[in-house]
A and B are shown apart, each in its own frame.
Chain A
Amino acid sequence: MKTYRPESELDLREWVESSTDRLVDERAPAVTGAPLDRSPTGLGTLPRSSVSTTHLSHVVDFRPRDLTITVGAGMRMSALARIVDEEDLWFPFAEAPDDRSIGGWIAAAPVGEFDASFGPVRRHVLACTLLLWDGRSTSWGRPVMKNVAGYDVPKLICGSRSRLGIVTAATLRLWPRPRILRRFELTGESLHDVQAALSGMPRLEAVRWRVKAGMTEPPSMTVSIAGGPKSVSARAEKLEAWARDRGVDIREQEREATSSGSVGVERPVRPGTSAAYRVTFGRGYLSAGLKDVNRRLARELDPWTVEAYPAIGVVRVSTQRQEAAGQRHAPAWLTTLAEAGGRVGVAGPSLDAPSVRIERGGHAEHEAARRMRSIGAREIESRWLAAFGGLQVPWQADYL
């Protein structure tokens, strides 16, 4: 597969216009923000060609006083974090090192640990330029914090995985850098019941819970506390006391990742070497599901990692191991998660994992959908894709 790396939006536009024939049989050219030849997995058929936004990585307009920045889609998260940090601003999603592109981040709309306190991807995309698959360049949203003119198309673009078109540039919402931001790593058996653990802790700005299959190690949790110095140190003390009481190991992490400036460190990810599922439970309903997982984990040795974002009720199951990613079917206990009430999201490594697409239980948005008896959502989706001249690929399943 050949990857084309246009130097400008204009080049990209020409390429899209000339590739209409490639779209006819629905083998869409793959879009990627990846610096290497990372193939988006899970496309029903392998694309014959792919295009990378990697050179569309310039700053278009940075307005620190407005808390906005407009960047090319190929800008890396790490680079963005460094640029905004210079103006004492903050983009809560960047981790270091982080070679994800802004375009890929928008298109995949991954969950993040700060979602509960700052809002998810869609709250942060104020405007973007979308190159349609017919070659037209369209522009949606405005570089302002509130905008209700017309339909809220940026929402549709977030998470659309290149089905509507290629994001070439985006205006993002930034935040003032918290005066103090401290991160702690907690490890211990008493973290198994994440909900119970959290109820004893102080208010946290971010929580990520993690356990590895095989259960060779106890679960761990990364938490962040942000704000003014007094409030942060009071809450940090409370957290430390909580950990001492429960025999939980607590370690403060060094400097906040986003300002460490570790640019250019790129994750070499080869095709098919990683896969992930997202399971949505809804806030308050994680514990039940995770208990089951813990039981199953003790028995299973799949090389999967389970991460939970309790504040938004989402679990992420992922692997970086080739043999697991290549599996045609989801790991057995992913089914357990679904049976425990979770709603399993995009199927990871392959499209044919129907066993995990169990739509039941859970009190997240889809619980509402279940009870209300949804009909036709796929139909509307397909009609709206048509309105954009988008790709009717039902699930361009890949990473979440």
Chain B
Amino acid sequence: MSSERALPAGLLSALRAVVQPGAVFDERDRLIAYEADALTTSRGLPDAAVFPADRDELIEVIRLLHEARVPFVARGAGTGLAGGAVARGGVLVCTTRMHRILEVDAAAQTALVEPGVLTDAINGAAEEYGLRYLPDPASAAACTIGGNVAMNAGGPHCLKHGVTSDHVAALEVILPDGTPLVVGRGADGGLDLAGIFTGSEGTLGVISRIRVNLAPVAAGVRTFLALFDSVADAGRAVGEIFDAGVVPVALELVDRETIAVVESSIFAAGLPLDTEAALVVECEGDPDEAVEDLEEAEKAVMNCGAREVRHAHTDQERLAIWQARKKAYGALGRLAPDVFVQDAAVPRSTLPDLLPRFMEIARRHDLRIANFFHAGDGNVHPNLLFDRRDPDQVTRVQDAGAEIMALCVEAGGTITGEHGVGADKVRHMGLVFGSDELEIMRAVREATDRLDLANPGKLLPEAVGDLTG
């Protein structure tokens, strides 16, 4: 739905005057490409889209929008799964042309990048110094670092290495009135302001530059895939690995339904179709260390009844395992036109109990469910498959989704572990925040955005009355 309100006269030409030729458009047929992010069920049309080429243009753009009192939504690659980068009226501010890596400081192990840089491109630039950027959202080849910082993205390897926030050294944000502000992590005795801008989902301004931390490439990496006859056993094995004193860099779970789709796609990794669950376990360090840790992990999974452990003996085999895991989401398209992505995070020990209950909920609502997720972090993605053209299915998916979320919160968990609140989970915020906390967060937002211009309606419920929960 586009808003009824048209843009103020003269705004488009004012915007055109501050950016490169062709970097502003308002034709409906072109705007349609930006109607949704990767959560295709949440849609909206902006009145215009603008593509600043650098920070200075971005500042001018935000100033103009502020002067004209026009709401705006920052957008990176649009791979978000929470409907966050979608504008219902107003202007979409796209960062994809701001894609320069401004500096790699090999000695300090940091890089200064523009927000539109693809996450993988940072690795490309760091590689020649033997460095890498650690967080690895499965979408790294397509998403932007600005989007990662805005969402505080996670990824399979965040188990040991930490999420995006753990790798942001400083950032610059253009506040909703066009003022640039540089914030760090409080090393000077001030507050960790960058810690709040990270994960703010575009509601506190547009991130214009980021200094990320890099780390040396590990000398040794070892990976295996453990196959189980029961999901609960696989869940138990996760705890057993930690009990053995090992912290793998990644510990991912893939269930039977997912294996079936992946095996019928071009990313087939040769997994037996009668496997109920598979765990991907990866260890890293000095070469001997990776081997030693993986041996301990192997003992642990065998103790929990793994029926088989398949080691990746070559880089190629390792990549095949990861492709199977990382492309699972895309492959789901083969099963159903739509996927309802869930992203709760729960205390790890509740996994063996919760996983069968997710299945049970799906069965009760006559829905198919595919699980593949960051088991080591307790960040679950029970994905419900459906067809949005069937209103009955939509209702069932919403009901089942709400039940699963409530179950996870009851187990001590949270409504989103890495995909963010966006437009999608705003109404669930009351499950994890009280009215005082919500009021304080609104005050934090109002401190820089009295006019409610930056990504309005996302992350925070407007009023406590909006909440289910």
If the complex has contacts A139-B434, A149-B429, A278-B187, are A373 and B182 also in contact, measured as CB distance less than 8 A?
yes
B311 at the interface (CB under 8 A from A): no
Q: Evaluate contact between B109 and A144: CB separation under 8 angstroms.
A: no
Contacting residues, chain B, for A163 (C-beta < 8 A): 191
Contact (Cβ within 8 A) A142 B286:
no
Stretch of B166-174, B263-271, B324-332, B358-366 on the interface side = B166-174
Is B434's CB under 8 angstroms from A138's CB?
Answer: yes
Given contacts A66-B347, A231-B286, A381-B191, contact A176 B418 (CB under 8 A): no
A323 adjacent to chain B (CB < 8 Å): no
Q: B181, B196, B415, B448: which contacts A152 (Cβ < 8 A)?
A: B196
B108:A364 contact, CB within 8 angstroms: yes
Is A159's CB within 8 Å of the partner chain B?
Answer: yes
A143 within 8 A of B: yes
Return the chain A residue nearest B296 by Cβ: A228
Contacts A67-B348, A282-B110, A397-B189 given: A384-B434 contact, CB under 8 Å? no
B106: chain A residues within 8 A (beta carbon): 284
Asked whether A148 lies within 8 Å of B418 as measured between CB atoms, the reply is yes
Chain B nearest Cβ from A186, distance in angstroms: 20
User: Does B452 reach chain A (CB closer than 8 Å)?
Assistant: no
User: Is B457 part of the contact surface with A, judged by Cβ < 8 Å?
Assistant: no
Q: Does A251 contact B (CB under 8 A)?
A: no
How many of chain B's residues touch chain A, expressed as a range? 35 or more
Query: Quick check: A363 and B110 within 8 Å, CB to CB?
Result: yes
Report if A160 contacts B (CB, 8 A).
yes
Please determine whether A151 and B187 come into contact, CB atoms closer than 8 angstroms.
no
Which B residues touch A160, using CB under 8 A?
A: 191
Q: List CB contacts (< 8 Å) of B133-158 with chain A.
A: 151-152, 154, 158
Query: Is B305 at the interface (CB under 8 A from chain A)?
Result: no
Interchain CA distance A343-B420 in the complex, whole Å: 34
A376 in contact (CB, < 8 A):
yes
The answer to whether A285 touches B165 (Cβ under 8 A) is no
| Contact yes or no, B245 A109, CB < 8 A | no
The answer on a CB contact under 8 Å between B182 and A65 is no
Whole-angstrom CA separation of A250 from B110 in the bound complex = 33
Q: Which residue of A lies closest to B445 (CB)?
A: A151
By the criterion CB–CB under 8 Å, are A145 and B345 in contact?
yes
The answer, yes or no, to whether B443 is at the interface (CB within 8 Å) is yes
Known: A119-B166, A142-B414, A363-B107. A343 touches B188 (CB 8 A): yes
Contacts of B415 in A (CB 8 A): 149
* Complexed CA–CA distance, A65 and B286 (Å): 27
Q: Is the CB of A145 within 8 A of B288?
A: no
Q: Once the chains bind, are B152 and A152 in contact (CB under 8 Å)?
A: yes
CA distance in complex: A208, B448 (Å): 40
Chain B residues whose C-beta falls within 8 Å of the C-beta of A280 in the assembled complex = 187-188
- Once A231-B289, A363-B110, A365-B170 are accepted as A-B contacts, the answer to whether A144 and B434 lie under 8 Å apart by CB is no
In the complex, what residues of B have CB within 8 A of residue A285's CB? 107-108
Q: How far is the CA of A393 from the CA of B124 in the complex (A)?
A: 44
Question: In A125-158, which residues have CB < 8 Å from any B CB?
Answer: 136, 138-140, 142-153, 155-156, 158
Contacts of B186 in A (CB 8 A): 109, 158-159
Tell me whether B195 is interfacial, beta carbon within 8 Å. Answer: yes
Shortest Cβ gap from A260 to chain B (Å): 19
A385 to B162, CA, bound (A): 27
The residues of B that contact A346 with a CB separation of less than 8 Å are 188-189
Q: Which residues of A contact B292 (CB under 8 A)?
A: 227-231
Residues of chain B lying within 8 A (CB to CB) of residue A142: 345, 412-414, 432
- A148-B416, A366-B184 are contacts. A372–B108 as well, Cβ < 8 Å? no
* Bound CA–CA A229/B292 (angstroms): 9
**At the interface, yes or no: A313 with Cβ under 8 Å from chain B?**
yes
- Taking beta carbons and an 8 Å cutoff, which residues of B are in contact with A? 105-110, 112, 151-152, 154, 158-159, 162-163, 165-166, 169-170, 172, 179-196, 198-200, 209, 211, 239, 242-247, 285-286, 288-289, 292-293, 296, 345-349, 374, 377-379, 412-421, 425, 429, 432-434, 436-437, 440-441, 443-444, 446-448, 459-460
Known A145-B417, A284-B106, A373-B182; further 13 A-B contacts with Cβ < 8 A: A65-B349, A143-B412, A144-B377, A144-B414, A147-B345, A147-B417, A148-B154, A149-B433, A155-B165, A176-B245, A372-B172, A377-B181, A387-B443
